Amino acid sequence: MIRFEQVSRRYPPDIAALLDLSFEIGAGELVLVSGRSGAGKTTLLKLIAAIERPDSGKVLVCGQDIGELKSALIPFLRRNLGLVFQDQKLLFDRNVFENAMLPLSIIGCPAKEAARRVRAALDKVGLKKRERALPAELSGGEQQRLAIARAVVHRPGILLADEPTTRLDPASATEIVTIFRDFQQAGVTVLIASHEQAPFAARSPRRLLLERGTLLAEPDSGLSRP
C-alpha cells in the first residue's frame, strides 16, 4: 500500500528531514510513526499525501510514484487518503455537519447519500448529536473527533493522522486511538505520527521509530533497518 525506497528529503539551507528511509506498509495495517519533535514524522506523512516530493528515492502509494506523479493527478491521489492534520484545519464558520461534508462535496457525492454518510461518520466518532454545533463550541477532544470524521467520511483506503492525541486528556486520547483501531479493523490502512507513546501502549500497533530523519527501529516488521 505504501512503500518508501531510500527516501531523502532536505529543507534549505541543508537540513535533512528524512535520510535514506525505506519501509513498507501493507493494506489494513495500523502503524505508529513515533519520534521526537523534528524527527521527520510530519515530513513522512506529507510525502505520502504528495504535499511534498522526495529529493531522492521513491515513495509509492497505491502503486503510484509520488515523485513522478503529475501535479494534475495529485488531487485524485488525495481523494483516496484521509488526512487528520496536526492543527486540525477545521472551518470555524461552518458547523460540524458542513465540516464533515467537505470531502464528499469534493468528490461530487449526491446530497442525500452525502448526508447519510456524514451522519454515519459523525455517529462513529460520537458527534451525531452535535452536527449543528460550530467547531468553536466543541471541546478539544470533540474537535479532534470531528477532524477524524472528516478524514474518513469519503471512505479512504489510507488514513494519515498527524499528532492526533496531542493536547487531549488521557481518556480522550484513548478514545481516539480506539476509533483508529476500529477503522483499521474495517480494512483501512492507518498511519499515525505521534511523539506520544502512552495512548497507543495498550493497542500495541506496529511502530516506526524515527530520529533525525532516519529509521531507528522497527521492532515488528524487519522490512527496514537503520
- Coil, helix or strand for 198? helix
Nearer Cβ to other proteins, position 2 or 109?
109
Nearer Cβ to other proteins, position 63 or 108?
108
Contact code string over 151-170 relative to other proteins, x by CB under 8 A: --------------------
Cα–Cα–Cα angle for 83, 177, 181, rounded to 5 degrees: 85
Q: How far is the CB of 163 from other proteins (least distance, A)?
A: 16
Nearer Cβ to other proteins, position 105 or 204?
105
Q: Which of residues 43-72 bind other proteins (CB under 8 A)?
A: 49, 51, 72
Q: Which of residues 76-135 bind other proteins (CB under 8 A)?
A: 76-79, 81, 83, 85, 89, 91, 102-103, 105-111
Contacts (Cβ under 8 Å, ≥6 apart) of 120: none
What are the b/e assignments for 38-56, b being 16+ CB within 10 Å?
ebbbbbbbbbbbbebebee
Judge whether 215 and 31 are in contact, CB under 8 Å.
no
Told to check if 198 binds other proteins by CB under 8 A, we report no
Nearest CA-CA partner of 164 in 178, 150, 144, 146: 144
Write down the residue that cell numbers 535520510 correspond to: 19
Q: Which residues are at the interface with other proteins (CB under 8 A)?
A: 49, 51, 72, 75-79, 81, 83, 85, 89, 91, 102-103, 105-111, 150
